Amino acid sequence: MQRKMGGCESYKLNLHPLFWEQAIVTCYFKHLQQVFTKAGIEVTGENKKEIDKIIHGIVRVKYKDCPATWKEVKKRIAEDEEDFVSKLKEAWSKQQYPS
């Protein structure tokens, strides 16, 4: 019996295990470009992982659980996109300029 895989898991099929983490980290980022723009965040290869950790923290999902994170992110954005953008922007600012 074949198991149906979600978007994040399907990336793993064609990648060497060393590249899984990068694929998982960015699996839902392509859907958030407008959110990142509104938050004033430019996603780079160097900051993807940190942004991913921040998003996991905002939605309170265990880090590296991409499907659960994406599900919660979609829900939060649908409920109040401005609030999600604000939280992301604030968390990113604290990361960049700690007090």
pTM value is 0.73
Higher pLDDT, 23 or 94: 94
What pLDDT score was predicted for residue 26? 59
Question: Residues 41, 7, 55, CA angle at the centre, nearest 5°?
Answer: 30
98 confidence band (pLDDT: 50, 70, 90): low
21-67: pLDDT as tens digits: 444 455 789 899 999 999 999 999 899 999 999 999 999 999 888 88
What burial class does residue 66 get, using C-beta atoms within 10 Å of its C-beta: 0-12 exposed, 13-18 middle, 19+ buried? buried
- List the alpha helices (DSSP H) in the chain: 7-12, 20-26, 33-38, 48-59, 66-96
Q: State the average pLDDT for the chain.
A: 81
Locate the domains of the chain by residue range. 8-96
